[in-house]
Amino acid sequence: MEKGKILDYPAVFMMVRRSKGYRSKTRGKLSKHVRQHGLPPVSKVIQDFSPGTKVTIALDPSVVKGQPHSRYHGRTGIVVERRGRAYVVEVRDGGSIKRVISRPEHLMVVH
């Protein structure tokens, strides 16, 4: 480049667009306490829920596979069916009922 030549690109720079991925805005929601790090026990993985069981969706951040959207964390619903290794849970979301597919690591029985 020659001395004193003006640059080819404009003086106003565009900022990079913020990513809005599947796990965005989940810093607190998808983090574990220090002594709870690591994979869940096997008993949590082999849980069995029959249709009609009332469950709470509690996301386990160490298991990404079969994890429902973070919007449903803490929601309570009813197991409708089993689909492969996962379960279909009906959850109320606003005025409508949604069907959420989740693996058993992310579900807890409501007593």
pLDDT digits (tens, 9 = 90+) for 52-65: 999 999 999 999 99
- The mean of the pLDDT values for the chain is 91
DSSP notation for 4-64: TPPPSS-SSPPPPPPP--TTTT-TTTT---GGG-SPPPHHHHT----TT-EEEE---TT--
Looking at residue 13, its pLDDT comes to: 65
Contacts 24+ apart (CB under 8 A), 29-32: 29/59, 29/70, 29/73, 30/59, 30/61, 30/70, 31/61, 32/61, 32/62
Residues 6+ apart with CB under 8 A from 98: 72, 90, 91, 92
| Average pLDDT by stretches of 10, the chain with 111 residues | 63 78 92 93 95 97 95 97 97 96 97 86
Residues 6+ apart with CB under 8 A from 1: none
Looking at residue 48, its pLDDT comes to: 97
Domains of the chain: residue spans and CATH: 44-109 (2.30.30.70)
Looking at residue 41, its pLDDT comes to: 93
Residue 86: CB atoms within 10 Å: 19
Looking at residue 108, its pLDDT comes to: 97
Distance CA 81, CA 50 (A): 8
